[in-house]
Amino acid sequence: MEAKEDSGDVREVACFRCHDGHQRTYEHWSSTLHCRMRFSFFSPRAISKQRLPVIYFLSGLSRTEQTCPEQGGTQQYLCKHNLCMVWPDTSPRGLELDKTVESAWYGPGASFYVDATEKPWEDHYRMFTYITQELPALIEERFNVTKEKGVCGHSMGGHGALMCMLKQPKLFNSVSVFAPLCSTIKSPVSQRAMLRYFGEDKGAWAPWDVLTLALQLPKDTSPIPILIDQACVTYRRQEEFGHGYYFLQTFIADHISFHAKHLNPPPPPPSSS
């Protein structure tokens, strides 16, 4: 385990004006991951006058907290609907453990948003707890936001978003995903990471497998609004699009509008006078 630092305050490391709001990057000590972490945060100007809901965006394999803010084209639509967005990094960073990694399919940028149980990963790779507990608590304490929140993800992050919904169904009001990885057990993309994070027993992988979790849902589970774009559930297959950020840019407005419908309070009824 890395030497513990004093958590202190959250430190702003970058701020840029973007559309009718500000795109900021913050750094803080994570008591869950035992390392310093960064996240990006966009807030429309309206945050100075009212508390706003938040969408948490989980990025894909090898990405960082900067990738989607720079390439996703989300900010103008967040301003339109008065929503904030948080982009966490995709894994812990700056660890001695990083030096042992021999592949991009596990380790830095490849957390798959799980809580590892195998050494040496278990001390740091607890991203599920980070994105469902520590980070939302930090955001709600520091910023002028409501407790209403949605989660959105792309690829590996789509897996993370669906997993959040299945494991913590009351935490998020809405879920949307782009081209999600849906089975960490069956996908060769995730198998190398799961082997290291949970060992050879695939029974230990099952609690972190979206398909397995979906099949285990109790029949009386309350419906959760879900939108899925693949290159009540709304599933839309988008022909001719690839797996990257051009695909995401094309449909991100729909996703933010979808979340806005479930996060923002309904308009007041028209006056009878």
| Structure confidence by residue, pLDDT tens digits, 162-221 | 999 999 989 999 999 988 899 999 999 899 999 999 999 999 999 999 999 999 988 887
188 Cβ contact partners less than 8 Å away, ≥ 6 residues apart:
none
**What's the total number of domains in the chain?**
1
Instruction: For residue 246, give its domain range.
Output: 10-263
Looking at the domain assignment, is residue 69 inside a domain?
yes
Tally of CA atoms within 13 A in the half-sphere of 254 that contains its CB: 16
The two three-digit tokens of residue 178, written as one number: 């782009």
Q: What is the CATH number of the domain that holds 148?
A: 3.40.50.1820
pTM of the model: 0.88
Token pair 């304490």 is at which residue? Answer: 141
Look at residues 156, 167, 150 and name the one whose alpha carbon lies nearest to residue 227. Answer: 150
User: Is 110 within 8 Å of 124 (Cβ atoms)?
Assistant: no
When pLDDT is cut at 50, 70 and 90, the band that residue 23 belongs to is very high
Span 222-245, average pLDDT: 63
Looking at the domain assignment, is residue 237 inside a domain?
yes
Distance of CA 244 to the CA centre of its chain: 17
